[in-house]
């Protein structure tokens, strides 16, 4: 029974939050006239001393303690005796305690993780700034589509991360509601004020329903989803990096510090950071799925199943604390080969749309323009040449609308520069975008 029940090996990390909760609860008991001034003072002094000892690692749970709450109550009673120490439990339950502590812990971790996510955004932005001239093949279906700026592609990985930060900040509104005072499920009869405890613990307010306060874990699930989304966004970025650093692509090289060799193949430089990011994403998705499954079908109010919420949440947070700085390091030290990307950019007839758009600007209906450009691609494929290699004779043979001026737009620079609407890949637009991204990140 004990081996199954015990949770101190993972919930001890909530010890300082538990003690802060106890200090706030002691104040509530005092205000309600359930602790004399003298008792309140002695209780808070002992709790503060215990807090300092826990913070420096001088005390910890005993093997016989079931959970962090029981361990800290035991330690308090050992220090001030059962006559005073035994008063603290009045009007509260481990059910409202744990629901409150995990939210408080989460709110702090969310802020720390936000900084880690911003580190990756910063690395992407710095690389985008440093390579404004570089043009690469943009892809859809993994097939060459249209040329884009490398900076545009890098920023396309930064925006989702900024949305993840917005999600974290938004869920903090829901995490900022304290369940303390809900007691076991029905609330307290001792005249304690949950709003004052909430304020003392840095929450915005207290829960309007004590059953919901002790039973709900949707905020934990929501956080684990956002953390999984961060993992998925890092995984997609990593997949790009993994492809770029293959010798076949050769668009970028990894820094030695952020890659590994092979124990047998001397030539290898493996993208382990990116691969671990991809792998961790699976694990983070597993944590959300597990949490949802734990909550599904649980009757109100508290059930011991809910003890299973902590390890997946802690795991998602811990994994990202390690992963995010590594991804930032990998991205920040990538060395891009602009020449190789530029050589690849026009391959696969990626300028065919530019030919069609050129025809449209000259009054040709797009359907006809699409056919003409398609015929040009077919012709070039047969002749083993690129679109830009077509002679004036060949052009007019393909379609009378195709004059030699079309060759002016059949360059990757011309193609990129022409996509100059908001959000497009034209260098001026991307420069604006870098500024907009910087402002969004600074406001986060």
- Footprint of ligand ARG on this chain (CB under 6 A)? 7, 11, 67, 94-95, 98, 304, 306-307
Looking up tokens 């874990």, which residue turns up? 217
* 345 within 8 A of 135, measured Cβ to Cβ: yes
Distance CA(399)–CA(394), nearest Å, equals 9
Nearest residue to 345 via CA among 281, 399, 413, 403: 413
Q: How far is the CB of 297 from ligand ARG (least distance, A)?
A: 17
Q: Which residues pair with 136 in a beta bridge?
A: 148
| Smallest separation (angstroms) from ligand ARG to the CB of 195 | 23
313 contact partners, CB below 8 Å, separation of at least 6: 102, 106, 220, 223, 224, 287, 291
Phi, psi angles (nearest 5°) of residue 270: -95, 140
> What is the smallest separation between the CB atom of 305 and ligand ARG, expressed in angstroms?
9
What are the E-state strand segments in 297-362?
Answer: 335-336
CB 62 within 8 A of CB 74: yes
Cβ distance to ligand ARG smaller for residue 183 or 380: 183
Under DSSP, is residue 253 helix (H, G, I), strand (E, B) or coil? strand
Cβ-based neighbours of 414, under 8 Å, separated by 6 or more: 354, 408
User: CA dist 201 to 16, 25, 219, 309, Å?
Assistant: 12, 10, 18, 22
For ligand ARG, the closer CB: 127 or 316: 316
CB 231 within 8 A of CB 318: no
In order, the DSSP letters of 123-178 are HHHHHHHHTTT-EEEEEETTEEEEEEEHHHHHHHHHHHHHHHHHHHHHHHHHHTEE
The residues annotated as belonging to the active site are: 141, 262
Minimum CB separation of residue 336 from ligand ARG in Å reads: 48
Helix count and strand count (H, E) for the chain: 18, 6
Given a contact cutoff of 8 angstroms between Cβ atoms, the answer to whether 73 and 22 are in contact is no
Q: Is 209 helix (H, G, I), strand (E, B) or coil?
A: coil
Give, in degrees to the nearest 5, the angle at Cα 228 between 227 and 232.
Answer: 120
The 3 state secondary structure assigned to 375-420 is: HHHHHHHHHCCCHHHCCHHHHHHHCCCCCHHHHHHCCHHHHHHHCC
Q: Between 155 and 221, whose beta carbon lies closer to ligand ARG? A: 221
Selection from 244, 269, 265, 235 nearest residue 255 by Cα: 269
Task: State in angstroms the smallest separation of the CB of 164 from ligand ARG.
Answer: 27
- Run of H or E residues at 291: helix 272-295
Cβ distance to ligand ARG smaller for residue 8 or 433: 8
């Amino acid at each position: 029974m004990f081996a199954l029940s015990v949770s101190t090996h993972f919930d001890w990390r909530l010890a300082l939050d538990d003690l802060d909760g106890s200090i706030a609860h002691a104040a509530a008991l005092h205000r309600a006239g359930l602790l004399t001034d003298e008792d309140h003072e002695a209780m808070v002094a002992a709790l503060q001393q215990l807090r300092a000892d826990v913070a420096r690692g001088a005390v910890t749970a005993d093997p016989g303690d079931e959970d962090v709450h029981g361990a800290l109550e035991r330690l308090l009673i050992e220090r001030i005796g059962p006559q005073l120490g035994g008063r603290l439990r009045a009007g509260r339950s481990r059910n409202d305690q744990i629901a409150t502590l995990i939210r408080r812990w989460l709110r702090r971790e969310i802020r720390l993780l936000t900084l880690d996510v911003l580190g990756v955004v910063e690395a992407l932005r710095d690389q985008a700034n440093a390579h404004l001239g570089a043009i690469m093949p943009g892809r859809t279906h993994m097939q060459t589509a249209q040329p884009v700026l490398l900076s545009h592609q890098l920023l396309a990985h930064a925006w989702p991360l900024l949305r993840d930060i917005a999600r974290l900040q938004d869920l903090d509104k829901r995490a900022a509601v304290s369940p303390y005072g809900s007691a076991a499920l029905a609330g307290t009869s001792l005249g304690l004020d949950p709003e004052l405890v909430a304020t003392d613990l840095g929450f915005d307010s207290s829960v309007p329903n004590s059953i919901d306060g002790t039973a709900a874990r949707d905020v934990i699930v929501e956080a684990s989803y956002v953390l999984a989304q961060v993992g998925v966004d890092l995984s997609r970025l990593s997949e790009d990096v993994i492809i770029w650093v293959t010798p076949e692509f050769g668009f970028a090289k990894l820094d030695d510090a952020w890659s590994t060799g092979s124990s047998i193949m001397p030539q290898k430089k493996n993208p382990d950071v990116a691969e671990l990011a991809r792998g961790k994403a699976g694990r983070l998705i597993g944590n959300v799925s597990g949490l949802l499954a734990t909550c599904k079908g649980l009757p109100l109010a508290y059930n011991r199943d809910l003890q299973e919420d902590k390890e997946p949440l802690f795991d998602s947070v811990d994994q990202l604390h390690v992963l995010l700085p590594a991804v930032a390091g990998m991205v920040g030290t990538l060395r891009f080969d602009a020449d190789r990307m530029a050589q690849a950019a026009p391959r696969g007839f990626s300028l065919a749309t530019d030919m069609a758009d050129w025809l449209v600007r000259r009054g040709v209906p797009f359907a006809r323009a699409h056919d003409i450009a398609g015929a040009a691609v077919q012709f070039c494929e047969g002749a083993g040449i690129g679109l830009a290699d077509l002679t004036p004779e060949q052009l007019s043979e393909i379609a009378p609308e195709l004059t030699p001026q079309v060759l002016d737009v059949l360059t990757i620079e011309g193609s990129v520069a022409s996509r100059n609407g908001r959000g497009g890949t034209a260098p001026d637009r991307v420069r604006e975008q870098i500024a907009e991204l910087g402002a969004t990140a600074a406001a986060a």
